[in-house]
Structure 1
């Protein structure tokens, strides 16, 4: 078959994008531009600056090939193609000039929180992206459609995505038919995947499952004849209000519930019986602390309550010698400290009122406003209540149990700087510590109002203004990360915490954001551990980031931490100004060099280095390929720096010189023949897109340029095929430099027995072929020219001849621009092979009635046959038969055989259809009336047949598919060996 090589000339039109504005920085030997601020309105897909300065920018253009051409097939295989479809058409080379245009789909990314409010994009999300597709005209100047491919949206944990308001994880493909096609731009919204509903209103039916009441039971085991105090219930019930969060899936509305939370509001006072000690779980106690009432937080429904048993035993009578006539109320505070938002107070309070008012409480109060801040119950059975020293001074009731040593957490919402914290001790007959009617109580204030108690108070002073900035740096995704803490007693007066980003150079505010409870980094137990006496130190942290919008990184940027009562962060405030930082130096030292730009089998190879002192502000290195001819960006990629010790030795004064290298490939890109390209290296604060939406520094390598010229060679080889698992597996290679532009590779199978009608086409990925690269050194793409494809065997017909065509196409749907290679080694599906492994006679004994001596003789009644039969005709003629015939052409026996696996045959004959299931083992019984006895002398052979006939006979649609075995000789009724 004649080898067909068809060519169609290709010419690309210009693709236009707008140029970004940048300010200028100077680097020796290169064209350098620097953009020191980020503006969301800037086109981030543009590499070129409006102002560049070239220093020693000698032209060093790289041309790997001196001839420029592009090839495409003139004959496109298609269904129902006529018999002339495979012939060359010389007129195709006379077509009109092909025009191309690039159509862009812009993709904008936004984000909303669980309430639907727009928020900053999550970490790792890009802000913008785009897709480009090229369309071309046909020979009549009509635009041919092309597909904008489906876009896979990067998924981020904790978020769903919407496309133009609909839940999607991809942006669908769209057909492009017009270079001015509209309505392509898309908005992708990251939506917080779950919405957390806090329990706020138990009367709301939608929150009914978020609230509940846990009922605990307290049982008293009292000695016989001993009554409980008046008003005590046995059993008693304790009710604990519990609640839980509800999480709603933003997309499915599926509801899940969090753990139950809740605790008793106050300690539980155990009723006291004179002369008896109360025990809880074997331990003496007069109070059950509120946090002792635990709940099953993971319960599916409202948790079930627990039962607590309290027992009483006769106690020591430490009050038997007291003088109940003594009137007075005495006390002393041994120590009072304020740490970690809590008051720790130790002392005693003795009075005969404690005989009837047997419950002891310690109150912490705001001495300025008189407001109670917190109360706790004293456990009279605890060791801290024992004061053996007091009865000798004040021989009154409970003097021996008048001590207290308690820590009282404070609610700081009601505290202010300048206020005085005071302590009050109360004995009362009310188990909750109150003084209702008919109750007996005695209060003692330790604030100097009586001579019977010492004056020990705590005044909240302004204290120190403490802060530390742990992190103040570029975060690698177009922002400034800030983390640290600000602790001051003034946070009691000013409840709202704000962070303000300030330009110290211009004296203007850039932006601000509020720090809220529950935000990441607010909890700082480490700070509270060091600064124990500073209120709210445990909630002094912050950890967030500021956008670079409005930031000029060459200015001195300062962070201000502010406490204020204004909801917008204004008004009277208490500030901490952290030291200013200049993230970039306007005239930072920079140097760069492009070592190589050349096309190889792996793509366009670029290597070199770019060193800058501004690396801390712009850690992301992008390499951008700029099409000088088309005035557009051809490609960009984010790369990792590689070590360059040679640069470090030469430029030791530049910060990242030792790690300034790059060495990578641009692959999968469409270069335009004849176009000239320049490499741009960009350090950016932004790690998405091409870094153009951040602050960045560019270097244009104007001293080395690359022109994409193509080799005209169009070569290939069809190495062969195998048949496996219902697939026709083909392999070979097709080398043509147009594949760098026409980067969609198709294999097309033609039925040459039916006028080269197309049977099937498949798209394949190229594979490495170093042998081809070695043989075709002038073809840039030769090293990646291999293919391996699978066609559906059920679409093929036995006996037909097939031709394979390899096609490189611009359009993935195989439209106007393509290059074909027709392989001249067509193949026919008519291969057959067989082997008879064994042919054994089946014998039976008979009695010769004419033999007067009645001797027995043996007679052949059939044959046991094993072997295999493989044939391409089994594709369309599935019934396998063994037929035994003699040398006169007379049929002696036939048998339909069920074929079995023969992996040895498949290994030896991989190109024959169904060779892996070709084995047989059968007993061929001679037809009725057929005898082979001592009088028989003839030759036999097997016919191995595939047919559509269920009886083993050929049908009208059958092709000849018989294989004839070697002859088997019968002499005197015996099979000769």
Structure 2
């Protein structure tokens, strides 16, 4: 309801009742709807209202002399807040003019003050408040941003209206006695305890109740803003004890406002063990404004050190957000947050918000926090069930809840959680790493990072040196965490203040003997300035650091597929019987990736340059090549060891270079793509499988991929890319078949890939070629490819732009497995007017692109073939290719089988088989199944079987000539009565009936 309607309602009510109104805390909006009183209080940054009840009757005048009859409800007035919040009011164009005393808020340190205020508020059409939380849930708002105080023993309040010139408010303060304040506090506390409802004559109002009262809907969460800046750490601790699990803190509004109390409120909530969520009060009415407000919210959340998985609500209630594009506008807000890494989104809105369904649609009901206030929110009551059953995530059910014993400070908004939206458990996550530990003489340097959710309440950071061998602490140094972009981008980014987690500290170990001692290092966050108290620690592994050693890594570089490590390592230790080795260490995990033993080499320069006092100075050198295959070298360091008694650590090395070039990408012989070039990458150490992938950028899909074996490329090894892993063996030169893909005028790209999966997926490194636009060429289709007796019937069409008067057309039968041409048949193209009619009229020969040929296949292996239609013009060939075709049918039937009295078997039936194309000899074999032996065989000449040709087997090779009729086979004395005999029909390439054959075994018959 807009402000004019509110004013008319207020005026009408005053005339009807002729009484002053008592304003509920905050700006409470009321509606009469189906017998239920519904209110909604503007959330943070609202007008503070101090209200006293006064009667105009003589009895009331007399009663005003008794302090106990006064009921004072104290909230906050936006005109009393900081200049920062006045700036927010200025953004909305609101004007507030006040005549009277400025209300002094009742703070813990100002309990001797009491407010005596009279003021008049004039506003434009829109409310003066920058935020009116829950305003969409009301139908009639009796008052808004106004503060009315009726003084004891006074007459009706006199009001005047002045034009407002700024956000400043003129006010006159008056201070009452401490005793009067005490009485008012006591009265207010008692009224809340007794569930006294403030009323306007007969108008009912919502219950005032204490948080934790089991009669009312369970309170799981509170929401706060700058107008709850009176909340102390003790208040938050108390709320935790009363069952509150979450504090939802306003952080921003519009594109410029930041809640000045947010940082403190977040800190207090975390210290109390509450979940912390945030909300942004939306003002946008278009997508650009939505995105700008999202950026403002994201920047502020980052400045507060909030983790990227912090839940943020968009508070959708302000009438300025009304728009038919409300959903798109809110999605633009979400997009800005997501770009910044804040992807945990939810919506707060009211039942009467004009575009409620549109904004809810951006996240779903289960992630919507709905606001609506019944008079008495009974635990398990009708409205609680209603919102729960409707599928909402949470319900804000009251704005008149109080902290027991702190009722006089003001009410709080409370909400119940239905599905975990508001009560996700507090996550005390922690991560870190000691990147580098270096001992130089007595100076110990430790660099790394440490991030922990508990650091929010344990703000003192330390690194501690602990002597595990001696069982005691040696040193500790406090530090201020520094920015670490790599941590902010890593898996740890969702931990509190992860971006500011770095440390680089120095210790002096002068006077401490750590020779042979195992040291550990502790990164700590503590709530005590000395590093004790409550703390969370991260311990390093054990290190044995020796002071009396020195050395240098002169060269650490990739040469081919190995890491060349050259340097020297001098020590005072006795090295008799000690093994020398170099280790590659993963800096992120500390894991040893590879160890290579070495024999020391002479280094006279070490002796000459001031290190002659070291025992092994003259022979302290190393010059080692370490194989890198299978080793992740993106973040490593090298350690030179003398057994376990002396260690020299290098700096960090990051090998992640990559380079490539595609020398040639061209179409050859139809759909054959020639690709040559090179691709070298350091990360190929752990990605050994090489692939070339053809991607159709126009169609948005992959066309083909082939694996390849890298070729020698000495030119690359000698170029700028020479220091990359396997640069000298990074080449490729291959032809990739694109099958029958239609790539005419398509834009193709080739991807050179290193992968750790044999399929070419998995973890991979890709290099994309320049685009290749394929010129218009040819297209076509094989309408029919089927066997008709001993021939292959091939019918279809082939349209091309490259045909001319001397073009030769032919159909080829190709062995798919070997690529060998099995048979080629020339043909004269037929008329195909349907091709031109169906979208191919632009092709030169569209109307004469047909083919209909019969190809003899006797002698050909047609079990796996491909058909290719070619046009050859002046030595240049274009073609279309069919799908793979498999002809492997093998069918037959035994019409009659018997053995006569002379032991002669008679057999009739048929046998048709596709593989008979290469098996021209037909046999019938009688097999004794009982004795497991052959009894006899006879070759036969196939006979006509028109019935088979017309049957289901008609598409089988030579089906119409597949018969055998009364073939006689002499069994002699081989036959034994009672034995089971089987008939075998066979096609073979052996005149004797053996060789490569194809059989059908018919069911056995007992003699």
TM bin, normalised by shorter chain, reads: under 0.3
TM-score (norm 2): 0.22
TM-score (norm 1): 0.23
Q: Which has the higher helix share?
A: 2
Q: Relative contact order: is structure 1 or structure 2 higher (C-alpha 8 Å, sep ≥ 6)?
A: 1
Q: Which has the higher strand share?
A: 1
